[in-house]
Amino acid sequence: MIGATMNEDIGGSAWASPLLRGLPEADLQVLLDVCRVSHVDRGRQLLRADDDQVALLARGAAKAHAPTRAGDQVITAILGPGDAWGFGVSLGYRVAGTDVTAIEPVDALVLSGHDLRRLLGSHAAITTACLRTVGRQLALAQAETLQFAGTTTAERVTHRILELATRWGREQGGRIVVTLPITQDEIAAWAATSRESTAKVLHSLRRAGIVETGRRSLHILDVEALRKRCMSRDTDTVIDLVEVLS
């Protein structure tokens, strides 16, 4: 279906996206008119690495990932409502492309690269919104690179768990519960390590009484202890930027 509707196709969190927030109503409608609505079930691809299109998540969560030379996968981002992906390819940088696969059912607004480039040449407000979106992604990527340089596997895995708690956790009975169905393999790929190493870190956190794990759920019992385990004076950098730049 081409032409998204403001009320039916966009979740509340998506309105906070740098791509939509602050757009004049006329420009917003022009943008929505050329978007199609895409529903993707868990495990299905939303974007392929070479797709010439941009996707804005309205509901659900997805992983942006690419294969390594060793044949494994590395996850470059976990995307949620309000996150947009695909600008690199649509702006001519195909080397920047990654697959995007749903971790849970996803609703997204999808804009073709052709329509994106046409709008960039004719609508200044949309151009500014796209620059704001790409700039946010660059800032987060740079902060993450600086933060993870020289860190240990345990620190990286712990930080990813802290990110899950911060963005997808819900307070429940004095603990933070993450029900995003992310696997240990996916946490490992996101932390650039092996599943075995990730399992060891989770085991250590369980023994310390910091986390509990269940089927498709993660319970954070002591957030401050988890934060201290990151062992970095810049622990808050990426997590804080997600909030500041949202």
Distance CA 44, CA 62 (A): 10
Domain containing residue 96: CATH number: 2.60.120.10
Determine the pLDDT at residue 244. 46
**Is 7 domain-assigned?**
no
- What pLDDT band is residue 71 in, cutting at 50, 70 and 90? confident
**Is 115 domain-assigned?**
yes
**Is 4 domain-assigned?**
no
| Tally of structural domains, the chain | 2
For residues 49 and 73, state if they share a domain: yes
Domain boundaries, position 181: 151-244
Q: Which of 147, 180, 195 is the last residue of a domain?
A: 147
Query: Do 144 and 76 contact (CB within 8 A), yes or no?
Result: no
pLDDT higher than 60, residue 9: no
For residues 124 and 198, state if they share a domain: no
For residues 138 and 24, state if they share a domain: yes
Query: Do 166 and 235 contact (CB within 8 A), yes or no?
Result: no
Distance CA 192, CA 177 (A): 24
**Is 232 domain-assigned?**
yes
- What pLDDT band is residue 8 in, cutting at 50, 70 and 90? low
Determine the pLDDT at residue 1. 42
pTM: 0.87
For residues 53 and 171, state if they share a domain: no
Q: Which of 105, 124, 147 is the last residue of a domain?
A: 147
Q: Which two three-digit tokens encode residue 115?
A: 């329509």
For residues 88 and 124, state if they share a domain: yes
| pLDDT one-digit tens code per residue, 95-117 | 778 999 999 999 999 999 999 99
Domain containing residue 214: CATH number: 1.10.10.10
| pLDDT one-digit tens code per residue, 206-240 | 999 999 998 778 999 999 999 888 855 455 545 55
What is the rounded average pLDDT for all residues in the chain? Answer: 88
pLDDT higher than 90, residue 58: yes
Distance CA 110, CA 102 (A): 14
| pLDDT one-digit tens code per residue, 74-99 | 999 999 999 999 999 999 888 778 99
| pLDDT one-digit tens code per residue, 15-55 | 778 899 889 999 999 999 999 999 999 999 999 999 999 99
For residues 226 and 131, state if they share a domain: no
Mean pLDDT of 136-159: 87
For residues 206 and 130, state if they share a domain: no
Three-state DSSP at 153 gives helix
For residues 133 and 233, state if they share a domain: no
For residues 25 and 135, state if they share a domain: yes
**Is 64 domain-assigned?**
yes
For residues 142 and 167, state if they share a domain: no
Determine the pLDDT at residue 10. 64
Three-state DSSP at 155 gives helix
Determine the pLDDT at residue 11. 60
